[in-house]
Structure 1
Amino acid sequence: MAEEKKKVKAPKLADPVASSIDVASQEMIARSHELGIETIFDRALTMKQCAIGVQGTCCKNCSMGPCRLPLPKAGIEGEDTRKGLCGATANTIAARNFIRMIAGGAAAHSDHGRCVAEIFLSAARKETEAYKIKDFDKLIEVAKYLGVATTVEVDGEELDRDIDEIAVETAEVALGEWGKAEGEVLSVKKAPKARYELWKKMGVIPRNIDREIVEIMHRTHMGVDQDYKNLMKQGTRAALADGWGGSMLATDMQDILFGTPYPLQSEANLGVMKADHVNIVIHGHEPVLSEMIIAVAQSQEMIDYAKKKGAAGIQLSGICCTANEMLQRHGVPLCGTFLQQELAIITGAVDAMVVDIQCIMQNIANVAKCFHTHLITTHPIAKMEQENVIHIEFDEHHAIEDAKRIVKMAIDNFQNRGAEVMIPQHKAPLVAGFGVESTEYHLGGSFRGTYYTLNDNIINGRIRGIAGVVGCNNARTRHNQDHIAICKELIKNDVIVLTTGCTAIACAMEGLLMPEAAATHAGAGLAEVCETVGIPPILHLGSCVDNSRILLAATEVVKAGGLGNDISDLPVAGSAPEWMSEKAISIGHYFVASGVYTIFSNLPTTGAPVFNDYICKEFEELYGGMWGAEQDPIKHAHLMIAHIDKKRKALGIDKARDRVMMDFASRQAL
């Protein structure tokens, strides 16, 4: 009898509706199945998570492992006797893994900042024609906090110093923050004085940016630091080196070079692409290349060349944080979030996807093979092994030439499109470009900009508090669902939301970044403030490196008075509902160390209950902020609201008050 052929199981395919709340994404997931193209949504079904790894108690820091420490069986009481081969406890292993994630995230953001600092130095020295200083006011502000003199005494008279000299010295001092031999990271002094003094007392002020990351790698080597509290001390120092160091410097220097963002209008979602245009999608995190591509793509030379090739024009759009950088300064529309990068190519309309660093899935190269799309890598530290990937290494000294080559390549590829172009007709309007400066302007105008207006409305109860909701997408959760559910629940309860990264893009796609959203979704108090000031209930503050803007906004609230002396006194809370990146852990921890209760959907620490309690309970006694975890989005939002209410009660503003006109004497008394 002939041998029966083994039946080959059909691959599991993701349910489009169960995978995403976004209709455009649902359409593209369904299309990927029709075309036989695998995406991350399908892989999330077939690749299960490691049950021990997700708890944070798998150690692979030496070749005797991996040592996997599952939780003890239910009902067993007594001392936790779990150990790795070397004797490392669950607490030690979880703490090592946690701070290694901080190191990875801090390295990514801080290396981004270093790249910007190097280009800033080239521009200041006039070594490149492509980059010039655009915001001189921001240059003077940054120079002052870095200790660079902005005036000079001549014959007893104090005169403004030459701006070129200020720029060069500021760039040199900034670049030195990554590796100076002594001292401390200078930008930490931008924090409220009480917060700085607490960090000094706790011994966690970073010495330089690189050293704190390297020291984590040393401490977590086999046989070095084996005290989870001491490990977390170094994790805190490295996280502060990111949030109050590398990331803050990156944001400030980007503002100096490319302009400080101010509110503008645009659109978001896959529907921003145009079938009759050359579509260039820029994906990643560093704006140094995208700034040049924008300049080149908008030139008459390239527009004429595109028309010569049969296109109506050139449409730029962005994915992830390069998208947010292009949006907040130029109004370039958002194509999508992290989980939409494969789906953008599946439209068949992308003539070139240009990538730099961070959050770029290697599988987009495999998806691009199925279409005419050119996939172009541009950064020396971020290449792909697939043969169909084109590498054009970006150099700031030849920035315009590199950008022209990339844009021309996309235009030439327009005529190679197949007939299978399908762009979802879904997009939403948005207002973005908020920051410390623009928020101050919105609250008080050109001549009396102040954060007191915000404080006043928090004190009188119209605004319950402030929430920072930031972070990634994660294929283990329904795309965008938790972002939107949490943000809607917060604003419904009069909590104004500050957002960055993929959360900001998700909110844009949902229409929550328009002023009109306040009337539909916000509570009566917040809606009244938004209508009066003319802002959305959710403010887009930029890319994930721009979380430093949220820290500085909180600092301005402290300075304005009436709400305590430190960030930990404020009615604020933080959240990253769909996090997946190590950067999110570093961001979360520098918010915790800054005094903010910060909740994630889950934490990789549950396999070590003692360590988990340390960062989720005891940390509040040390730093005024602590971690939390909750998967249910509504419960997640209400944990944040409960914390905000706790802070309101501590400040004595837990009851709504009538708005009263205050004279100068009353304001002084407050």
Structure 2
Amino acid sequence: MSCLDCSQCSTDPCATEMLKIAEAEGIGTAWSRAAAQEPQCGFGTTGLCCRICMKGPCRIDPFGNGPQYGICGADRDTIVARHMVRMMASGAAAHSEHGRHIALALLHLSKGELKDYEIRDVEKLHAIAARHKVAVEGRELSEIVRDLADLTLWDFQNQDYSAPVNWLAASLPAPRLEKLGKLGLLPHNIDASVAQSMSRTHLGCDADPTNLILGGLRVALADLDGEMLATELSDALFGTPTPTVTRANLGVIKRDAINIAVNGHNPLLSEIICDIAADMEDEAKAVGATGFNVIGVCCTGNEVMVRRGIPLATNYLSQELPILTGALDAMILDVQCIMPSLPRVAECFHTQIITTDKQNKIAGATHVDFEEHHASENAKEILKLALSAYKRRDPKRINIPNLQNEAIVGFSTEAIVAALGKVNAEDPLAPLVDNIVAGNIQGAVLFAGCNNTKTQQDSAYLELAKALAARDILVLATGCAAGAYAKAGLMTQEATNTYAGPGLKAVLTAVGEAAGLGGPLPLVLHMGSCVDNSRAVSLATALANKLGKDISDLPIVASAPEAMTEKAVVIGTWAVTLGLPTHLGTMPPVAGSQVVADLLTTTAKELVGGYMMVETDPALAGEKIFAAIQERRAGLGLPTATWGPKAPASGLARM
């Protein structure tokens, strides 16, 4: 394994400490494997390599000196467009499969078949029912749950092309629905959208890059539908997040406890693990531990963090590193963003790696089939494996970094509106709107996406958030972006006082104090896991409806500074389709086609109002995001600002 400069791998001191251990002991990590891949294939990086059929792989010479067509005759624009659409379809399949799992659990619950689950937020369930025009008055809860499960599953089954999926139709502003409908972009069926995307990109099918990308926009909206239903139904099932104080980074691992990490994206298992771990405390103490210590990794970690206050150990790219502490007894895996390397790293320690989904197994891991009908029994079996692993610990190898930061998390759309309601109970959104108009808040940015070894871990997130907050931009975050901010201590009141511009600081302080926090809201508002990007859409929709505008009119930008997965590609695409300027800090594989690049930037802006802007330099990205917000402010007739030192605020509006 090649020697790494660990300080250049991550901005997280815990990560660099663990990477030094890995380097010293010859244990491979994502960073060392990335170094071994250099130099990466330039054809693949630019999207000019095609492997759709077995005549290839074919590649296009980006400089025009070599082949300009694949064996079938596909040119660079067709090859790049097909590749991008396939990435979008895969991302949509991942998110929507998560949502299907939740919807099916609700269906089984409505029939009385799941003894370990219940509707924990009846008020949220009733709100969902009202939005979908499902009757509530005088009905049993199980009947309401059944109707919602049926209409949700219809989004995977409907064969009427003229009827858009239920969740989008019930959730987006009327002007946006009208625009998307006229363009033929509203999907009628999630599964059909994914299947059609794969079909049209097969050899001998769609070869028009414009038509292909329009199909990509459609499957991206199917992804958003899957995210919406997953988030909303999970809230009804497990509880809608409210502000809670917890902690983040590897220091949350405890030397004297049985440490179990939940990793992946689906809360159906992790919620039960938390319940059963509390019930099995005596068994943990019987083997000499103080109890079970459940910690989170990646988006499953975010799910239990925002609902239960479970501490977060780390985000995607550093998911191998908790094992290197020598004190992690088990890592429980469900689906998505899970590294196949985990069992190999665990071979060097006592840690038990446990897969739980029959469609997501890893060679070398122990598999326990998780089924909701036997959830508590499955959880007990898993926790007993962790108990057994704890007995095999080597105390001499324990090395837990002494760093963890406080994090105030749990800012669902409902929680944000409730906090604003403490300022103005009759019109909760008024304080936000009025302060945007006054310029105390210039706009908002949603940070989403992953980590990528092409970027120093978390660095772009941190630099951008600090720079934009200093210029009075409200910062929201989900997924691994949220994990970056939690680990670094930016989800605290102290961070608001340190980094927020005067206008933003005044607003966050007024709202936080009114909400009973005894100080400001945190600098970055944690909205949940990566499927919970839909919460930001809900908030934007509420603002658009209040103003009688479309989402594309609002001073809101999406940003994925370390984009990495196919899910990130499809999230960015639906953000564009909703009308949002969308920043990517990683170059997607489109550089080989100017036609596709133009479609996602200039043409998209003309067609749907949103557009992609790629900028790998965080300093320049901050300026571009700020400029995009100012463009939207100007379009609304609001006063604009320039990038530079922030002038003192003129005073709060209606606070």
TM bracket (short chain): over 0.9
Question: What's the offset of the Cα at 1:649?
Answer: 1.2
Residue number among 460, 466, 473 corresponding to 2:438 in the alignment: 460
Equivalent position SS for 1:573: strand
CA drift at 1:29? 0.2
Query: Measured at CA, do residues 497 and 662 of structure 1 come closer, stay the same or move farther in structure 2, by a change above 3 Å?
Result: closer
Residue pairs, 1:230-245, within 5 angstroms: 230-243=211-224, 245=225
Which amino acid is 2:496 matched to? A
Higher mean C-alpha displacement, 80-89 vs 109-118: 80-89
Mean Cα displacement is larger for which, 135-144 or 377-386? 135-144
After TM superposition, list the pairs within 5 Å mapping 1:375-524 onto structure 2: 375-386=353-364, 389-418=365-394, 419-445=396-422, 447-448=425-426, 450-524=428-502
Which residue of the other structure, out of 320, 324, 340, is the alignment partner of 2:298?
320
Quote the Cα distance in structure 1 between the aligned partners of 2:349 and 2:174: 56
Query: Does 2:205 correspond to 1:229?
Result: no
For 1:22 and 1:611, the matched residues in 2 are separated by: 36
Range 173-182 or range 100-109, more displaced: 173-182
Q: One-letter code of the match for 2:60? A: L
Secondary structure, aligned partner of 2:332? strand
Distance in 2 (alpha carbons) for counterparts of 1:311 and 1:392: 24
Deviations 1:56-105 (A, max 9, x none): 121111111111113125xx9xxx98211111111111111011000010
Structure exhibiting the larger radius of gyration computed from Cα positions: 1
Aligned-pair distance for 1:145?
3.2
Residue 375 of structure 2 aligns with an amino acid whose one-letter code is A
Residue 454 and residue 81 in structure 1: after superposition, are their counterparts in 2 closer, same or farther (change >3 A)? farther
AA aligned opposite 2:209: Y
Partner of 2:553: 569
Q: Kindly indicate whether residue 571 of structure 2 is the aligned counterpart of residue 587 of structure 1.
A: yes
Match of 2:582 among 591, 598, 614: 598
SS at match of 1:540: strand
- Rounded Cα–Cα distance in structure 2 between residues aligned with 1:96 and 1:661: 49
Residue 317 of structure 2 is aligned to residue 339 of structure 1: yes
What are the superposed Cα offsets for residues 356-409 of structure 1, whole Å, 9 maximum, x if unpaired? 1111111111001111111000001100122xx110000111100111111122
Identity of aligned residues (%): 41
Q: Partners of 1:660 and 1:349 in 2: how far apart?
A: 49
SS in 1 for 2:446: strand
Q: State the alpha-carbon separation in 2 of the partners of residues 401 and 588 from structure 1.
A: 39
CA shift, 1:662, in A, is: 6.8
The equivalent residue for 2:516 is: none
Matched ranges for 1:356-371 at <5 A: 356-371=334-349
Matching residue of 1:45: 35
In the superposition, relative to structure 1, how do residues 646 and 415 fare at CA in structure 2: closer, same or farther (>3 Å)? same
Q: Which amino acid aligns with 1:239?
A: A
Which of 9, 28, 36 aligns to 1:19? It is: 9
1:286 to 241, 266, 285: 266
- 8 A contact 2:431–2:653 mirrored in 1: no
**2:103 counterpart of 1:113:** no
One-letter code aligned to 1:99: V
Partner of 1:629: 614
Cα distance in 2 between the residues matched to 1:175 and 1:131: 19
Distance 1:627 1:233 in 2: 15
- Mapped contact 1:124–1:132 kept (Cα < 8 A): no
Kindly tell me: are residues 505 and 67 of structure 1, through their superposed partners in 2, closer, same or farther at Cα, counting changes over 3 Å? same
Which 10-residue stretch deviates more, 445-454 or 577-586? Answer: 445-454
Residue in structure 2 matching 1:274, options 242, 247, 254:
254
CA distance in 2, matches of 1:234, 1:409: 46
Give, in whole Å, the separation in 2 of the partners of 1:598 and 1:131: 38
Question: Counterpart in 1 of 2:627?
Answer: 642
- Cα distance per residue 1:476-505 (max 9 Å; x no partner): 211111111111111111111110000101
Q: Give me the whole-angstrom Cα distance separating, in 1, the residues matched to 2:527 and 2:155.
A: 25
Distance 1:214 1:29 in 2: 41
Q: Please say if 1:610 is aligned against 2:588.
A: no
Aligned pair 1:139/2:119, yes or no? no
- Which residue does the alignment assign to 2:646? none
Q: What is the rounded CA distance, in whole Å, between the counterparts of 1:489 and 1:71 in structure 2? A: 36
Aligned to 1:167: 145
Q: Structure 1 stretches of 5 or more lacking a match?
A: 1-10, 152-159, 664-670
Q: What CA deviation, in whole Å up to 9, does each residue of 1:504-528 have, x standing for no partner?
A: 0100111111122111011111111
1:538 corresponds to 2:519: no
d(CA) in 1 for partners of 2:626 and 2:21? 40
Which residue of the partner structure matches residue 515 of structure 2? Answer: none
Per the alignment, residue 666 of structure 1 pairs with none
Contact 1:593/1:625 (<8 A) preserved? yes
Q: Secondary structure at the match of 2:42?
A: coil
Q: CA RMSD in A?
A: 1.6
Partner of residue 653 from structure 1, selected from 627, 638, 652: 638
- Displacement after TM superposition at 1:655 (Å): 4.6
Counterpart AA for 2:380: K
Which of 6, 22, 35 is equivalent to 1:32?
Answer: 22
CA distance in 2, matches of 1:618, 1:593: 11
Q: Is contact 1:124–1:133 with CA below 8 Å preserved after alignment? A: no
Give how far 1:147 is off. 3.9
What is the alpha-carbon distance in structure 1 between the residues aligned to residue 421 and residue 443 of structure 2?
Answer: 19
Once the two structures are superposed, what CA deviation does each residue of 1:584-620 show, in whole Å capped at 9, x if it has no partner? 0010001000000001111210110121112111110
4+ aligned runs moved over 4 Å, structure 1 = 655-663
SS in 2 for 1:52: helix
Question: What is aligned with 1:66?
Answer: 57
**Structure 1: distance between partners of 2:71 and 2:305:** 51
Tell me the SS of whatever aligns to 1:298.
helix
Matched residue SS, 1:405: helix
For residues 122 and 19 of structure 1, what CA distance do their matches in structure 2 show? 45
**Matching of residue 188 in structure 1 with residue 168 in structure 2:** yes
Tell me, in whole angstroms, the C-alpha distance in 2 between the residues paired with 1:295 and 1:518.
Answer: 34
Q: Does structure 2 retain, via aligned residues, the 8 Å contact 1:441–1:449?
A: no
Worse-superposed segment, 124-133 or 650-659: 650-659
Preserved contact between residue 442 and residue 449 of structure 1 (Cα < 8 Å):
no
The CA deviation string for residues 428-479 of structure 1, in whole angstroms up to 9 with x for no partner, is: 0001100111100111229436222111111000001110111100112111
The code of the aligned residue for 1:194 comes to P
For 2:602 and 2:155, locate their aligned partners in 1 and report how far apart those are by CA, in whole Å.
33
Q: Which amino acid aligns with 1:207?
A: H
Amino acid at match of 2:566: E
Number of the residue aligned with 2:645: none
Matched-pair contact (CA < 8 Å) for 1:468–1:499: yes
TM-score (norm 2): 0.94
Seen in structure 2, the aligned counterparts of structure 1 residues 307 and 63 have a Cα distance that, compared at 3 Å, is same
Q: Give the residue type in structure 2 aligned to 1:128.
A: L
Q: Tell me, what secondary structure is at the counterpart of 2:348? A: coil
Match of 2:71 in 1: 85
- Cα distance per residue 1:542-577 (max 9 Å; x no partner): 00000000111111111222xx61011011111101
Kept after mapping to 2: 8 A contact 1:450/1:560: no
The 1:161–1:447 alpha-carbon spacing in structure 2 relative to 1, beyond 3 Å, is farther
